[in-house]
């Protein structure tokens, strides 16, 4: 058996949570492979809305195993908060969720370092989610991290050593910690570690490979998006993990030849939270209109998302890097009332037009997006249930995108609810 991977092709918040929930009934297991509580994955069904941060979006369907893989960084306190809320709403989480003992832990001082790093960068700050993601992955790669499996191995001593190292780093940065606040955070941290002991902590690479050997199917759920990938995104304005398909191999222990379908998910337009370049960003009324109609505010931080037209140069690059086999287009309903819709088909740089995503897009003034303008469909599509109901202009828009991107669009989402999903 193969594993399928679903991941974001833009700057995150494409709607991954919604689609993972929709696709889950086809699979035996759902697994997160990178990122941490910087993610906010929204699901809506039966009039209720849930935002998941570290827990896979497969938990609301029935019978699947959900796995937090080794590539994820776990904040015990935020995890406990999220998990307890789900338990209170009736999800039997301890039964369906398994967590890798190789997942790295986000410590209270990682969050302090995240904030200190941002302050030190001043005007060049990344605009991180402040969840300690960067410092935790830094410790992982520099071989200083603490893993979930360490909680049974002289944990207090190891924890204290890591904390003291972080405090020294903070002091060197001129950002000494508030020790009383830290002490309180540590009490909550240790309490949350105890709560996690109630979950099955596993060797998730064995679990997943055993499932595959038994003929079971697995869906891997990405977080963030390809343009936030630490290698291929708009570096340094990226997150600290590999959000691309290869991240599913290293973040779960799945061999590359086990990868089956790669679902690449994108919005009918484009958004970005935090700082960093965004060639098709709209600073005008149209950008504001997209933000209002699409409710483009962060699921976790509530931050305003920057909005712009769809960028096919970046999308083609993302499709290549990930080996996307099927596309999923989200939030087309947000454009239901537009007279015309623009799509960026090239970048004009120094008078030359290219459709190749360049090394750097930092100098936004030097990149002029080249647009094609298409007629809008001017139809409320939110209650449609099959592609036969699509207006002609919308079908033409899909055909245009498929032609430019070279991959079929298999799913179209026309609203936030589980039911507002059309499989083609
Ligand atoms: P994720 O991080 O990729 O899971 O995406 P988020 O949950 O952060 O952001 C997607 C937002 O769009 C959420 O508020 C969803 O409820 C909402 N959403 C998802 N699909 C659609 C859609 O097709 N139409 C509209 N209008 N909203 C959608
Ligand atoms: P989901 O999974 C959108 C952005 C932050 C910042 C940069 C680095 O919901 O799509 P970090 O805290 O990771 O060090 O921040 O990445 N970012 C996201 N943007 N959606 C996300 O997740 C994001 N996770 C991180 O805004 O620009
Ligand atoms: Mg999100």
Residue 385 has pLDDT above 90, yes or no: yes
Residue 352 has pLDDT above 80, yes or no: yes
- The ligand placed nearest to the CA atom of residue 39 is 2
CB of 39 shorter than 6 A to ligand 2: yes
CB of 308 shorter than 6 A to ligand 1: no
Residue-wise pLDDT for 47-79, tens only, equals 999 999 999 999 999 989 999 999 999 999 999
Nearest-angstrom CA–CA distance, 189 and 312? 43
Please name every residue paired with 45 in a beta bridge, in sequence order, or none if there are none.
48
Q: By the 8 A CB rule, do 354 and 347 touch?
A: yes
Task: For residue 241, give Cα distances in angstroms to 63, 73, 226, 418.
Answer: 30, 10, 10, 29
CB atoms within 10 A of CB 91: 18
Residues labelled as active-site residues: 13, 41
Residue-wise pLDDT for 105-115, tens only, equals 999 999 999 99
Query: What is the rounded average pLDDT of the residues 264-279?
Result: 96
CB atoms within 10 A of CB 118: 17
Nearest-angstrom CA–CA distance, 414 and 422? 8
Task: For residue 223, give Cα distances in angstroms to 34, 36, 57, 305.
Answer: 7, 8, 11, 17
Q: By the 8 A CB rule, do 311 and 400 touch?
A: no
Q: Is the pTM of this model over 0.75?
A: yes
What is the model's pLDDT at position 410? 98
CB of 97 shorter than 6 A to ligand 2: no
Q: From the centroid of its chain, how far is CA 273?
A: 12
Substitution site in 6, 12, 17, 18 for ligand 1 pocket (most atoms within 8 Å of beta carbon): 18
CA-based nearest residue to 41, from 300, 420, 382, 331? 300
CA-based nearest residue to 146, from 165, 118, 174? 165
Residue 196 has pLDDT above 80, yes or no: yes
Residue-wise pLDDT for 314-341, tens only, equals 999 999 999 999 999 999 999 999 999 9
CB of 273 shorter than 6 A to ligand 2: yes
What is the model's pLDDT at position 44? 97
Nearest-angstrom CA–CA distance, 119 and 130? 11
What is the model's pLDDT at position 56? 98
CB of 107 shorter than 6 A to ligand 2: no
Q: Given pLDDT bands bounded at 50, 70 and 90, which one contains residue 365?
A: confident
In angstroms, what is the span from residue 357 Cα to ligand 2's centroid?
21
What is the model's pLDDT at position 364? 84
What is the number of alpha carbons within 13 Å of residue 100 lying toward its C-beta? Answer: 30
Residue-wise pLDDT for 16-39, tens only, equals 999 999 999 999 999 999 999 999
User: DSSP letter string over 253-290?
Assistant: T--GGGEEEEEEEEESSEEE-SSS--TTB--SHHHHHH
What is the model's pLDDT at position 96? 97
What is the model's pLDDT at position 1? 86
Nearest-angstrom CA–CA distance, 355 and 385? 35
Average pLDDT, the chain: 97
What percent of the chain has a predicted confidence (pLDDT) above 70?
100
Residue 299 has pLDDT above 80, yes or no: no
Q: Given pLDDT bands bounded at 50, 70 and 90, which one contains residue 302?
A: confident
Nearest-angstrom CA–CA distance, 252 and 276? 29
Q: By the 8 A CB rule, do 79 and 198 touch?
A: no
Nearest atom (ligand 1) to Cα of 39: 2
What is the model's pLDDT at position 98? 98
What percent of the chain has a predicted confidence (pLDDT) above 90?
96
Residue-wise pLDDT for 147-181, tens only, equals 999 999 999 999 999 999 999 999 999 999 999 99
Please name every residue paired with 202 in a beta bridge, in sequence order, or none if there are none.
100
Indicate the pairing of strand 270-272 with strand 367-375: unpaired
Residue 291 has pLDDT above 80, yes or no: yes
Residue 363 has pLDDT above 90, yes or no: no
Q: From the centroid of its chain, how far is CA 89?
A: 24
- List all residues 6 or more positions away from 131 whose beta carbon is below 8 Å from its beta carbon: 36, 37, 38, 75, 78, 106, 111, 114
């Amino acid at each position: 058996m193969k594993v399928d991977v679903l991941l974001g092709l833009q700057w995150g918040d494409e709607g991954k949570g919604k689609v993972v929930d929709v696709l889950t009934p086809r699979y035996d297991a759902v697994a997160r492979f990178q990122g941490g509580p910087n993610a906010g994955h929204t699901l809506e069904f039966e009039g209720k809305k849930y935002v998941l941060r570290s827990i896979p979006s497969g938990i609301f369907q029935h019978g699947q195993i959900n796995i937090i893989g080794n590539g994820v960084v776990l904040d015990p306190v935020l995890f406990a908060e999220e998990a307890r809320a789900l338990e209170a709403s009736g999800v039997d989480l301890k039964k369906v969720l398994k967590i890798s003992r190789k997942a790295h832990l986000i410590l209270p001082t990682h969050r302090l370092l995240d904030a200190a790093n941002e302050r030190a960068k001043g005007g060049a700050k990344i605009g991180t989610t402040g969840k300690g993601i960067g410092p935790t992955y830094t410790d992982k790669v520099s071989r200083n991290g603490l893993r979930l499996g360490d909680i049974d191995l002289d944990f207090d001593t190891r924890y204290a050593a890591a904390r003291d190292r972080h405090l020294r780093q903070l002091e060197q940065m001129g950002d000494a910690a508030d020790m009383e606040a830290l002490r309180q955070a540590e009490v909550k941290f240790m309490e949350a570690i105890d709560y996690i002991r109630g979950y099955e902590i596993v060797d998730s690479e064995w679990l997943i490979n055993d499932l595959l050997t038994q003929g079971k199917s697995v869906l891997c759920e990405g977080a963030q998006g390809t343009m936030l990938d630490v290698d291929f995104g708009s570096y340094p304005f990226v997150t600290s993990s590999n959000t691309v398909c290869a991240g599913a191999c290293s973040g779960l222990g799945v061999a590359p030849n086990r990868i089956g379908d790669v679902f690449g998910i994108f919005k009918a337009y484009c958004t970005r939270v935090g700082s960093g370049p965004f060639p098709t960003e709209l600073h005008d009324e149209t950008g504001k209109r997209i933000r209002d109609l699409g409710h483009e505010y962060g699921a976790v931080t509530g931050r305003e998302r920057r909005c712009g037209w769809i960028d096919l140069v970046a999308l083609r690059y993302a499709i290549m890097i990930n080996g996307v086999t099927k596309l999923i287009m989200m939030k087309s309903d947000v454009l239901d009332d537009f007279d015309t819709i623009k799509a960026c088909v090239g970048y004009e740089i120094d008078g030359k037009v290219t459709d190749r995503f360049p090394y750097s897009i930092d100098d936004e003034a030097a990149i002029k997006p080249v647009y094609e303008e298409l007629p809008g469909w001017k139809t409320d599509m939110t209650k449609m249930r099959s592609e036969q109901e699509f207006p002609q202009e919308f079908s033409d828009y899909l055909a245009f995108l498929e032609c430019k991107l070279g991959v079929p669009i298999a799913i179209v989402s026309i609203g936030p609810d589980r039911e507002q999903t059309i499989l083609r």
